[in-house]
Amino acid sequence: MSDVSQAFAPVRAKLYKAPLGTNLSTITGPASPLPIAFEDMGAISLSAGFSITPAGAPSRTVEREYYDDKVFFVTKSPSDDLPTFDITANESNLLVLETAFGATVDEDGLLKYAGGIPENSVIVLDLADAAASPKTMRYLMGNTGASINGSVAGSGSAKLVKWPLRFTPEPSEAIDGDLFWSWASWLADAS
């Protein structure tokens, strides 16, 4: 039997960024306030694509008896892959540009890009549906790399420049060595 109360169709999203080392102990759920160190990265396009790709499946090694081919031992090891969050930013603001390129923008709007890898940071993604009392979901990534994931180009009749960003969480001591944490308001209500 299905339960539509468990369905989630987000229509609003916000992305926040803070430096590594930010105290994350006050983030305990989808509605808890974020520490002051977090900066709002602006509007996120859910229609342009939003996806989470989990880490790959674990590998298995099967050992068999040589005389009758029966399985007698199976070893498993976790995947070497890391999960990825692909998100499209709608705003060409300072924080999005600095995150995308790993460069700084000066007071005159000059971005000097020399290549390289952007510094890791703490990322929070908040999602909400359109209900009067919205269901919310929060992802907390305590140590996250960022990169541009594809081409940056204007689209639609307004030629809005969209920034396809890929976030790759890495193990973080700030969240007990995990890759990311996630809270869903409707799951808390059901447990």
* Three state DSSP letters for 10-26: CCEEEEEEEECCCCCCC
Residue 40, beta-bridge partner list: 16
Residue 40 above 90 pLDDT? yes
- Dihedral angle computed from the Cα positions of residues 7, 8, 9 and 12, in that order, rounded to the nearest 10 degrees: 160
- The rounded distance, in Å, linking the Cα atoms of 188 and 141 is 20
8 Å CB contact between 87 and 169: no
Q: What are the pLDDT digits (tens) for 47-60?
A: 766 788 887 666 66
Residue 78 above 70 pLDDT? no
What would the two tokens of residue 113 be? 């890009």
Give this prediction's pTM: 0.82
Residue 9 above 90 pLDDT? no
Q: What are the pLDDT digits (tens) for 107-159?
A: 898 988 888 788 999 999 999 888 778 889 999 999 999 988 888 877 666 67
8 Å CB contact between 50 and 57: no
Kindly indicate the confidence band of residue 64, based on its pLDDT and cuts at 50, 70 and 90: low
Question: 121-136: buried (b, 16+ CB within 10 Å) or exposed (e) per residue?
Answer: bbbbbbbbbeeeeebb
% of the chain at pLDDT higher than 90: 33
Residue 72 above 70 pLDDT? no
Report which of 35, 22, 16 is spatially closest to residue 172, judged by C-alpha positions.
22
8 Å CB contact between 83 and 111: no
Kindly indicate the confidence band of residue 104, based on its pLDDT and cuts at 50, 70 and 90: confident
Geometric angle at alpha carbon 172, from 29 and 34, rounded to 5°:
35
Q: Which helix (H) or strand (E) holds 39?
A: strand 39-53
For the segment 61-71, the average pLDDT, to the nearest whole number, is: 67
Residue 161, beta-bridge partner list: 154
CA count, 13 A, side-chain hemisphere, 115: 0
